[in-house]
Amino acid sequence: MKKIAVFASGSGSNFQVLAEQFPIALLFSDKKNAYALERAKNLGVPSYTFELKEFENKVAYEEAIVELLDKHQIDLVVLAGYMKIVCNTLLSAYEGRIINIHPAYLPEFPGAHGIEDAWKADVSQSGVTVHWVDAGVDTGQIIKQVRVPRLINDTIETFEARIHETEYKLYPEVIRELV
């Protein structure tokens, strides 16, 4: 079984879903107050956190992450609501071993606000994408995608909830195929 590290910046709902289905070697968060850290504690998953501002620059920050991943012999890095752009230091060390989930049907609505951007564009459907991470923002090779329709009676909250429900099914399915 491959050793998996999950990266999260916020609530960690995708992390929770994954940790209930796979042995997760560690959770990394770039936010010391991320609820994902509480979830990790409750699930008995080792967690680590440090913030970019604690380092001289992004290279030093990512070197510390690579050191952490290497120490734990991580095979696959799973970004699950990790809101930092992965740069060359981490990308080159873990090339072809970092995946991300995005709450839109890429290449539509890349970036930090995929759901909100799709809602504002008044599209009839959006979706969820799992992709390999590359140097661009949500531009890596697509592994799997699922469309999520926008229903007539949807509010942004119900639309967002259905997108997240789709994420909770799609991400474990893709990880199962990869490991």
Q: Is 144 annotated as a binding residue?
A: no
Positions marked catalytic: 102
Alpha-carbon gap, residue 105 to 118, rounded angstroms: 9
Q: Is 136 annotated as a binding residue?
A: no
Three-state DSSP state, 73: coil
Q: Is 84 annotated as a binding residue?
A: yes
What separation in angstroms does the CA of 16 have from each of 13, 27, 57, 142, 167?
A: 5, 10, 30, 23, 12
Q: Is 13 annotated as a binding residue?
A: yes
Q: Is 83 annotated as a binding residue?
A: yes
**45 in Cβ contact with 19 (< 8 Å):** yes
Q: Say which residue the tokens 């539509």 belong to.
A: 108
Q: Is 14 annotated as a binding residue?
A: yes
Residues 6+ positions from 20 with CB-CB distance below 8 Å: 43
**CB-based burial, 122-156: b 16+ in 10 Å, e otherwise:** ebeebbbbbbebbeeebebeebeeeebebeeeeee
Residue stretches of the annotated binding site for (6R)-10-formyltetrahydrofolate: 58, 83-86, 100
Residue stretches of the annotated binding site: 12-14, 58, 83-86, 100
